[in-house]
Amino acid sequence: MLLKKIETRSAHAGVIGLGYVGLSLVVAIADAGFKVTGIDINPEKIERLKRGISDVPDVPDAVLGPLIKSGQIQVTTDYSVLSQLDTVNICVPTPLNENRTPDMQFITAAVEQIAQHLHSEQLVILESTTYPGTTEEIVLPTLQPNSSETTLENDSNTKPPSLSPDSTESLQVGRDFYLAFSPERIEPGNSTYFMTNTPKIVGGVTPKCTQVAKTFYEQFINKTYTVSSPRIAEMTKLLENTFRSVNIGLINEVALICDRMDLNVWEIIDAAATKPFGFMPFYPGPGLGGHCIPIDPHYLSWQALNYNYHARFIELASEINSSMPNYVLDKVIHALNLHRKPLNGSNLLILGVAYKKDIGDTRESPAFEVIRLMLDKGAHILYHDPHVSNIVLGEGGTYHSQTLTSALIESVDCVVILTDHSAIDYDLIVKHAAVIVDTRNATRTVQNELDKIIKI
């Protein structure tokens, strides 16, 4: 019955968590013709969404508004709607605790709500990035308390007559309800690859679970790729982002070595990238940012310890990446020293606080740690970011993005480029700045006054 409802797009879909991933998913499902209900615990966000106002830059109001107005998309804080849904995607945050271990509270809370309303012929898919084993060790036992006593490979459609199909305790995975893991692969600001044209990995708890989840995604994703289990799918996502973290850590260390040798690491990378095979360019920077790459390797190394394995290589890369804000601070101190100025009391202009170019996403942005280090040393901070109008820096209060003018640039002792936004006029920066620390090679096309520029 569920497969037919999915294939005819008459199924009522639901998404828990309406952030970057969840809201994008809601719109993609609705665009395919499904009725979708989005659930979020933030009442202010829900009220904005009901007015067609999006918090996600990749989901414009012009796209969201009509879908809300038509009723194709509904949003709520009320989890009781889960009892009406045929499919439920979990897209909640998976941050780290203060000791850098997985914080599973949002997944646990969402799954507990689903368990209260779970019914037969319902599909549940976890999309939140997590460690291998989460779907089968945390999600499944909550949805099916007796799961450890059953065989996951059981795909029989025959229900024991003594059990009520609507009793949560009687529902069996692969027979009465379906459970899978499918990692989100959204990259904010990417105009080439987005939700529908990025292949979707799907791993179900049973083969029938995989089939049902795959069929669901095929309604709005161009290509799906099935794997043998949720654990494989969970590990796939961690590999993707750990691969990037490790390679960025490598190139950051190469940048530190090149600095000692007085070599231009950017020129070296460009030269190496001319090799048509065996080399993939990665670039140094002030540190890692975003909702995945700084976080995911810690999930993997934490789970590896549970198998008595110390992931030294992965952790070393994270240490190098985490050290880059201190390296940037040293570069700023050096730049000021060239002008006989101390960091304490100097006026600094930060260009870019988003974690990458041309977006307004500041999650885990290394800019915040760089700024904190500068403030701790007594510097005075101004910032400009065309995509981020204000930031809050702990006890330092709220800072507002300054209008970028020649007068502003001339008024500061040093300009520090932390994000290479395309909208910034770097020729203007170089022309009017006393000295520049460029952590992104943003000034690579500038031809004049190169002696002002210090790169990492």
* Residue 102: partners with Cβ closer than 8 Å, 6 or more residues away: 94, 96, 130, 131, 298, 299, 302
Residue indicated by tokens 């043998």: 228
d(CA 211, CA 180): 10
- 442 with 415: CB under 8 angstroms? no
d(CA 84, CA 331): 58
* Residue 47: partners with Cβ closer than 8 Å, 6 or more residues away: none
- 329 with 373: CB under 8 angstroms? yes
Determine whether 232 is exposed, middle or buried from the number of CB atoms within 10 Å of its CB (0-12, 13-18, 19+).
middle
What would the two tokens of residue 267 be?
A: 């020129």
Helix and strand totals (H; E) in the chain: 15, 15
CA angle 254, 257, 260 (to 5 degrees): 150
User: What are φ and ψ of residue 399, in 5° steps?
Assistant: -115, 145
The distance in angstroms from the start CA to the end CA of the chain is 59
DSSP calls for 135-167:
IIIIIHHHHSTTGGGS-TT----PPPTTS-TT-
Q: How far is CA 162 from CA 23, 120, 158, 159, 168, in A?
A: 41, 15, 12, 8, 14
Determine whether 70 is exposed, middle or buried from the number of CB atoms within 10 Å of its CB (0-12, 13-18, 19+).
exposed
What would the two tokens of residue 270 be?
A: 């460009």
* Residue 331: partners with Cβ closer than 8 Å, 6 or more residues away: 437, 439, 454, 456
Q: How far is CA 147 from CA 4, 137, 194, in A?
A: 27, 10, 36
Would you tell me how many other CB atoms lie within 10 Å of the CB of residue 258?
Answer: 20
d(CA 440, CA 429): 14
SS3 365: coil
Catalytic residue numbers read: 292
